A and B are shown apart, each in its own frame.
Chain A
């Protein structure tokens, strides 16, 4: 404090600034290492956000036109197609989060119980693999498997005397089929985080529990799951942030027979905005998606804080 005052009196550098600069200089190599990431973040994550202003402008192939306020938002909210797409997005995304998280956690816990490491690695690899297939391939694959013209599933149904089903063309079956395919592709990949977290649990806790007579079920309930809760909350919040990001998976699996239950915000915008070069409109809908996702993330974070006493973000 005295030094600060003395420096101020003598007219030398601002002591806070001086210290900051000293710290920066001292850790200059760390700052240098951080620089590429920082530049990337600014260039590719923050600067593009300036484009959000186009949501309030008339913007198409003619370039950026007049400022039109909330006109695009009004257009979207009064469009039956948009409202339907919004509803479908919420239904499919929420169902997907619940199903995927349940399956991911279950598979992770089961894999964690496997003692044969070779078999465990084999199963892990098998469940990861679908994630690396592109959606175009997955779409073509399931269109064939589910076909009524020699598709595996319908051949099985036929052999058991059941009626053939148009899984991807029936409004009653599409959502279930879609969620199954989505889970098939993503669940294995989702186990990575949980398995990493499980491997970090102190083995002594299990040993102590064993000494106390806890069977494997009790160990899972009282040790494994409580340790997983923070990761579950983080994954849930991350998934909520991506809740409106359904596009490719729907695009390769939907068709006009099932638009009613399958058309999501991204596919709607693709058809009615981007395909017609209505960039302003597409930006407005995109901005709306982001705002909703942000609200959901913050709400989940707040809920986590209320329940667990600490927030994630």
Chain B
């Protein structure tokens, strides 16, 4: 009986002892420097591609262990939201652009402006890029994961050459190229099997990153115009943009299935020579478009082009790194992680290219990225930070290809910086429904079920019931 009682006591004491030990470790950690960071990341390497090795290299470099959770990309937003909802906060999180406002206003994030000001590493980063994350309350709750970047237009150069056409520089020339790609057999196979422009239907506010040649100065989402926030869908520019969409759709120059296109479907249409133009992300995609098109047809050539005279590209506010209130020593987290990421040395190399011998290697005196274990036909393009979107002017070890440099240069020279709409309670409550309403009315205008004027009138009418006025008032507060 006595021995049984002892056993029960030991079993009862064991978890308490373990808990106490854990507490002690955590406390000593906070006193003697940062022992561990718990993090939830989106775009970091997958385990198959060496995430654990990357974390070990980070620990070796900084002396701080990092526990990484990486939810699947297409459910990242929901999983991170659920993590916060349960109150189980990590120290450090990557927050997607569209979610930043909700998290920043949630009271769960630590203001970072003091750490930013103290950081010597961040001095080299364009201040406007950092200021894009400042809320109306005066605090900055996130540091960009990279320079936002954006989309450029890719075009089948070989099709232009086949038809004796130049790269379009105006809307009329662009329209003529789309017409010719659709009607004049640009691939010369004698079959009417091509179309001018393909695109995926973007269901979020990403819509404005794309379709710039048709949208021109119109914006689908909320936009800041002369210092005042307005709903882009109700602006005069949107009326003419809708008319252009409708014209291209009805004439068959725009992919007639773009409402059901996923981004992968639209990209395949470029690769396989079904469509000649698509707007997509600048950077590594410039190589992928060209290489994949060449795989289908060795004579294919896909290039990025300057915007037409009437249009511009968009530089988005990129995803942010934020530190939560769960971090016992947020300044140490900032120093250890953010400053290492931008140290222009070993840290930035680790963040950008990964580990030598695992992610990159030396070949004939030059650094080259190694093939991904998950997809051996493809070399790694990054470990975490995109080498084509470096914020602090650091020169990556692995040189960028001409196609990447071209797309980035074109984008950088022609992009305007978007800012984050900062609404209040009503904005957060209504933004989803307003977006749905816009998408529906937009699709009706494109297919011709509504004229552009009717579309705007209908939106105005229905958006009023969704408190659009209050939403705009909050944005302009």
- A256 in contact with B443 (CB, 8 Å): yes
- B107 in contact with A62 (CB, 8 Å): yes
- Looking at the assembled complex, report how far the CB atom of B434 sits from the nearest CB atom of chain A, in whole angstroms: 9
Is B47 among interface residues, defined by CB-CB distance under 8 A? no
* 8 A Cβ contacts from B85-103 to A: 85, 87, 99, 102-103
Residues on B with C-beta less than 8 A from A274 are 78, 81
CA distance A259 to B443 in the complex (A): 10
- Could you say which of A4-12, A143-151, A239-247 contacts chain B? A143-151
* Known A166-B256, A259-B440; contact A61-B85, beta-carbon cutoff 8 A: yes
Is A286 among interface residues, defined by CB-CB distance under 8 A? no
Is B260 among interface residues, defined by CB-CB distance under 8 A? yes
CA distance A59 to B439 in the complex (A): 27
Is B19 among interface residues, defined by CB-CB distance under 8 A? no
Is B8 among interface residues, defined by CB-CB distance under 8 A? no
**Closest B residue to A263 using CB positions:** B436
Is B469 among interface residues, defined by CB-CB distance under 8 A? no
Is B201 among interface residues, defined by CB-CB distance under 8 A? yes
* 8 A Cβ contacts from B60-80 to A: 77-78
Interface size class of A (residues with CB under 8 A): 20 to 34
Interface residues as binary, B122-146 with A (CB distance below 8 Å gives 1, 0 otherwise): 0000000000000000000000000
**Closest B residue to A274 using CB positions:** B78
Is B442 among interface residues, defined by CB-CB distance under 8 A? yes
Residues on A with C-beta less than 8 A from B77 are 275
- B102 in contact with A60 (CB, 8 Å): yes
- Could you say which of B33-41, B335-343, B357-365, B424-432 contacts chain A? B424-432
Residues on A with C-beta less than 8 A from B435 are 271
Residues on A with C-beta less than 8 A from B107 are 62
**Closest A residue to B435 using CB positions:** A271
Is B281 among interface residues, defined by CB-CB distance under 8 A? no
Is A272 among interface residues, defined by CB-CB distance under 8 A? yes
* Known A60-B428, A61-B103; contact A255-B260, beta-carbon cutoff 8 A: yes
- Looking at the assembled complex, report how far the CB atom of A152 sits from the nearest CB atom of chain B, in whole angstroms: 15
- A60 in contact with B256 (CB, 8 Å): no
Query: Which among A60, A166, A272 is the interface contact of B433 at CB below 8 angstroms?
Result: A272
* Known A61-B108, A62-B106, A256-B201; contact A147-B78, beta-carbon cutoff 8 A: no
Is A278 among interface residues, defined by CB-CB distance under 8 A? yes
- B102 in contact with A79 (CB, 8 Å): no
Residues on B with C-beta less than 8 A from A169 are 257, 259-260
CA distance A259 to B107 in the complex (A): 35
- A62 in contact with B108 (CB, 8 Å): yes
Is A49 among interface residues, defined by CB-CB distance under 8 A? no
CA distance A79 to B188 in the complex (A): 53
- B260 in contact with A168 (CB, 8 Å): yes
Residues on A with C-beta less than 8 A from B447 are 257
- A61 in contact with B433 (CB, 8 Å): no
By CB atoms of chain A within 10 A, which of B108, B431, B436 has the most? B436
- A257 in contact with B429 (CB, 8 Å): no
- B265 in contact with A143 (CB, 8 Å): yes
CA distance A273 to B108 in the complex (A): 20
By CB atoms of chain B within 10 A, which of A62, A143, A278 has the most? A62
CA distance A166 to B444 in the complex (A): 14
- Looking at the assembled complex, report how far the CB atom of A242 sits from the nearest CB atom of chain B, in whole angstroms: 22
Is A36 among interface residues, defined by CB-CB distance under 8 A? no
Is B119 among interface residues, defined by CB-CB distance under 8 A? no
* 8 A Cβ contacts from A243-261 to B: 255-257, 259-260
Is B465 among interface residues, defined by CB-CB distance under 8 A? yes
Query: Which residues in A have some Cβ–Cβ distance to B below 8 Å?
Result: 59-63, 75, 79-81, 140, 143, 147-149, 166, 168-169, 255-257, 259-260, 263, 271-279
The 29 listed contacts between A and B (C-beta, < 8 Å) are A60-B102, A61-B81, A61-B85, A62-B107, A80-B462, A140-B262, A143-B260, A148-B256, A169-B257, A169-B259, A255-B443, A256-B201, A256-B443, A257-B444, A259-B440, A260-B440, A271-B432, A271-B435, A272-B432, A272-B436, A275-B78, A275-B432, A276-B428, A276-B429, A276-B432, A277-B85, A278-B428, A279-B81, A279-B85
